[in-house]
């Protein structure tokens, strides 16, 4: 599985990448939404993004762009401060509060991948 991970907090980004790697998931890092969108390609199996990022485009806005162009791609949206309402995020997205538990991230990505493959 290849997962695009976007977070402007470098230590959190590196920690999540390491945890994913320990579970056999290849993580493609991005430090903002624009960089993440540029790295999105057909080999990506899922996206994990923070809500608040620099550069003018939030993680939620990025998730909506991805949802329109890749409607079956599972998306995990995370934040330690913001709690979006269900209608604020795309239908294939799941919100997880930070600090993230890697098992929850993997489960959310796997459940969405399995459901969208059916």
Find the DSSP H helices in the chain.
Answer: 10-22, 33-39, 59-69, 102-117
pTM score, two decimals?
0.92
Listed by start position, the domains of the chain span: 2-117
Are 16 and 7 spatial neighbours (Cβ–Cβ below 8 Å)? yes
Query: pLDDT means per 10 residues in the chain (118 residues)?
Result: 96 96 97 96 97 93 97 95 91 94 95 49
**Interatomic CA distance for residues 113 and 48, integer angstroms:** 13
pLDDT at 113: 52
pLDDT at 98: 95
Domain 2-117 class in CATH: alpha beta
């Amino acid at each position: 599985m290849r997962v695009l991970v976007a977070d402007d907090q470098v230590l959190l980004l590196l920690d999540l990448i390491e945890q994913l790697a320990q579970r056999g998931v290849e993580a493609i890092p991005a430090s903002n939404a624009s960089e993440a969108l540029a790295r999105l390609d057909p080999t990506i199996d899922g996206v994990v993004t923070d809500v608040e990022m620099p550069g003018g485009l939030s993680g939620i806005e990025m998730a909506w762009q991805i949802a329109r162009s890749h409607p079956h791609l599972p998306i995990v949206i995370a934040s330690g401060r913001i709690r979006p309402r269900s209608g604020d995020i795309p239908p294939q997205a799941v919100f997880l509060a930070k600090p993230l538990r890697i098992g929850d991230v993997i489960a959310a990505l796997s459940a969405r991948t399995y459901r969208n493959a059916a």
